[in-house]
Amino acid sequence: MVGSSWWLDVLPLSLLAGVIGLDVVSFPQAMFSRPIVGATLGGAMVGAPVAGLVCGAALECLALEALPVGASRYPEWGSASVVAGAVAATGTTANAMPLAGAFAVAVALGIATAWIGGLSMIAQRQVIARFARPRLGQLAAGNRNTVVGLQVVGMTLDLVRAAVLGAVCFIPGHLLAEQVNGRWSVPEDLARAIVVTSVAAVAAAAVWKDFHAISGTRRLFLLSLAAGTLMVVLGA
């Protein structure tokens, strides 16, 4: 991470995690909570956007496996990505790749935080259900104040949930990344290759499943692959 006063970043990072976590299912659902966005913002918050972007790309491969639809249970990648992106920045400079140790810790921490976040969303929904149950008659009657009040309570709880999760997971994650950076002995390129290969295998399995389940996926994949390749060639 850029700078030594990392603890000063806890509050702004937790607020960012809260806002990004709110985007997952509450508001505005504008795709800010995708790992590649959340992790890049998390890295940028502590002065190392490139490290956050690299971590976010890896987590995005894992997030492809989960489809957040309806009441299904799924990892909460929004706040988790902010935490992982910030942890990936540990020990690096503004425009440099993440150190291998911090990168490995960040990806593992992102997975763990997303899993915990998913469980916290279930608990939050249970709290909202208990809050709404005594007001079912008013909701059925379309009472505006009751509907708006329930929405405000739900979004507030979601914001607080994600912010607390971000702070609680970032602090030990950063401390662990510092320790791992100091003891990491696997060559940098090899370590990154192992992480990237692992997440790419998960992404390939998810895409292969979509090829057989969703009509037109293969066409869209090939078009996207061609467009991305062209952009890389033109930008080189």
Helix (H, G, I), strand (E, B) or coil at 81: helix
The strand ranges marked E within the chain are none
107: nearest Cα among 42, 189, 199, 176: 199
Instruction: Tell me which residue range forms the domain holding 188.
Output: 6-235
Predicted local confidence at residue 67, as pLDDT = 67
Residue 227: inside a domain, yes or no? yes
- Low-confidence residues in the chain, pLDDT < 50: none
Predicted local confidence at residue 166, as pLDDT = 95
* CA–CA gap between residue 18 and residue 14 (Å, rounded): 6
Per the structure, the count of domains in the chain is 1
Residue 230: inside a domain, yes or no? yes
pLDDT of 44-71, one tens digit each? 999 999 999 999 999 998 998 776 666 6
Residue 157: inside a domain, yes or no? yes
Residue 32: inside a domain, yes or no? yes
Predicted local confidence at residue 217, as pLDDT = 79
Residue 59's CB: how many other CB atoms inside 10 A?
Answer: 27
Predicted local confidence at residue 236, as pLDDT = 58
Predicted local confidence at residue 29, as pLDDT = 84
pTM of the model: 0.86
* CA–CA gap between residue 222 and residue 182 (Å, rounded): 42
Residue 1: inside a domain, yes or no? no
Residue 22: inside a domain, yes or no? yes
Predicted local confidence at residue 6, as pLDDT = 66
Contact between 117 and 165 under an 8 Å Cβ cutoff? The reply is yes
Predicted local confidence at residue 208, as pLDDT = 81
Tell me which DSSP letter residue 99 carries.
Answer: P
Residue 125: inside a domain, yes or no? yes
**How many H helices and E strands in the chain?**
9, 0
Predicted local confidence at residue 70, as pLDDT = 61
Residue 180: inside a domain, yes or no? yes
* CA–CA gap between residue 196 and residue 189 (Å, rounded): 10
Predicted local confidence at residue 36, as pLDDT = 94
